[in-house]
């Protein structure tokens, strides 16, 4: 995005000197920005910002699913990035897609957002077939990729206003929505500054706001809080909860397991392109069938001894955090294992400050289910088509064909 329409509105004009090319861009995308009638065979979907999207009728049996994917396969050369992945996202829920680096998470996101064509398999998104209705799929989603897709030469307000205009919103509605989102993401004070002057966290928040301009039925958030400070991360979590309460469905990939624990109604764990487990966070924790033994030592020099003891009494490889002198391991017989571990540490003259026996956390599930030596996804090492130019590409094709 490099230019934006100049307009006047109660919510703030776009500065002079910028020419309107949105109509030209809309025409290139096959979109009529003003006065377009819904295509035959479609029904209007009311939108909270006073604008109406159109959506074709949902096939029988899929009306309660925002996403239904079956046996998705994608290869890059000899590497099988996706190897028969199945996903279901019930409407109005959050699905957390977890996996180590290179597991295929971003490749799956690119497939479901029409940025990559799968080698085989079928999928519907918001009732639209991924293979034959790619344009309708784009109309039905908002995407925030791993990298902030904002135009450095536009202000924060102009970035959001322009996105709204590309989607066919009237000028007043686009302006009002842009100001509303700036306030919602704590960017109101910087809305009239060029986005190239924003910090990394501010750019990330602006990118998230751009994904929500039209309040689509499905939001795809690919590691949405990377680079955000703790307060902004909590605010983003609250926003996601509000969206879901309003009926929006969310596909969430994240490296923050606490984030998935807090937000996801269901979780799918993939490793090396395959689904290795699925269920709610509580179900996944219960399936481990273990408890978590955690100890904090007085002296960092004793951590090698702690590692050895935890390896001997535990049911998995122990995890040691040298900075806080803490170690933890999954155990099958909790109380007996605590007693045995403390006895052995005492025999070695190790001073223990804290000991705790807890339910396993989601990171325990993650480490148990995934292989640590996962190979990088070759596609993730290429220039990222779902990165800096993602939203631009999606929105130019939002109203048109593929």
User: Which of 6-10, 184-188, 233-237 has the least mean pLDDT?
Assistant: 6-10
pLDDT number for residue 63: 53
In residues, how long is the chain? 402
pLDDT band at 334 (very low <50, low <70, confident <90, very high): confident
**Cβ pair 293, 286 in contact under 8 A:** no
Q: Which two tokens stand for residue 6?
A: 């100049």
Mean pLDDT of 43-67: 46
Q: Which two tokens stand for residue 207?
A: 């990118």
pLDDT digits (tens, 9 = 90+) for 12-50: 444 443 433 333 334 333 333 333 333 333 333 333 333
Torsion angles phi and psi, residue 211, rounded to 5: -70, -15
**Whole-structure pTM value:** 0.66
Mean pLDDT of 114-139: 93
**Cβ pair 128, 109 in contact under 8 A:** no
Domains of the chain: 289-369 (3.30.70.980)
Mean pLDDT of 345-356: 94
pLDDT at 382 over 70: no
Mean pLDDT of 49-67: 50
pLDDT number for residue 289: 63
Contacts 24+ apart (CB under 8 A), 232-240: 232/186, 232/201, 232/204, 232/205, 233/259, 235/185, 235/186, 236/205, 236/208, 237/262, 237/263, 239/184, 239/185, 239/208, 240/94
Mean pLDDT of 300-322: 92
State how far the Cα of 50 lies from the Cα of 180, in Å rounded to an integer. 13
pLDDT band at 402 (very low <50, low <70, confident <90, very high): very low
Comparing CA positions, the residue from 341, 231, 348 lying closest to residue 295 is 341
């Amino acid at each position: 995005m490099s230019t934006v329409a100049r307009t006047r509105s109660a919510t703030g004009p776009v500065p002079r000197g910028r020419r309107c090319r949105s109509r030209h861009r809309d025409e290139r995308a096959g979109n009529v920005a003003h006065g377009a009638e819904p295509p035959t065979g479609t029904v209007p979907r009311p939108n909270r910002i006073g604008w109406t999207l159109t959506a074709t009728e949902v096939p029988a049996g899929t009306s309660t699913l925002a996403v239904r994917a079956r046996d998705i396969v994608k290869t890059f050369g000899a590497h099988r990035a996706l190897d028969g992945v199945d996903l279901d996202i019930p409407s109005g829920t959050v699905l957390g897609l977890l996996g180590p680096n290179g597991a295929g998470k971003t490749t799956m996101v690119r497939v479901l957002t029409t940025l990559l064509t799968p080698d085989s398999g079928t999928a519907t998104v918001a009732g639209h077939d991924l293979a034959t209705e790619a344009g309708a799929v784009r109309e039905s989603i908002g995407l925030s990729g791993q990298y902030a897709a904002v135009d450095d030469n536009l202000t924060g307000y102009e970035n959001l206003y322009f996105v709204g205009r590309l989607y066919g919103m009237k000028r007043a509605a686009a302006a009002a929505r842009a100001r509303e989102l700036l306030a919602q993401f704590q960017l109101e004070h910087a809305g009239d500054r060029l986005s190239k002057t924003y910090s990394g966290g501010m750019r990330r928040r602006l990118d998230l706001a751009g994904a929500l301009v039209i309040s689509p039925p499905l939001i795809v958030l690919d590691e949405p809080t990377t680079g955000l400070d703790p307060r902004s991360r909590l605010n983003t979590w609250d926003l996601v909860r509000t969206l879901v309460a309003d009926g929006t469905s969310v596909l969430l990939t994240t490296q923050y397991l606490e984030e998935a624990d807090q937000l996801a109604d269901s979780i799918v764990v993939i490793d090396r392109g395959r689904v290795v487990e699925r269920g709610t966070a509580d179900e996944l924790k219960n399936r481990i069938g273990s408890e978590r033994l955690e100890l904090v030592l007085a002296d960092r020099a004793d951590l090698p001894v702690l590692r050895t003891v935890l390896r001997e009494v535990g049911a998995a490889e122990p995890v040691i955090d040298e900075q806080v002198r803490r170690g933890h391991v999954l155990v099958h017989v909790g109380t007996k294992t605590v007693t045995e571990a403390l006895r052995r540490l005492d025999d070695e003259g190790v001073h223990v400050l804290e000991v705790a026996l807890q339910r396993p956390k989601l990171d325990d599930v993650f480490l148990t289910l995934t292989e640590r030596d996962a190979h990088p996804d070759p596609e993730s090492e290429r220039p990222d088509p779902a990165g800096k130019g993602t939203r631009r590409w999606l929105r130019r094709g939002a109203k048109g064909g593929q």
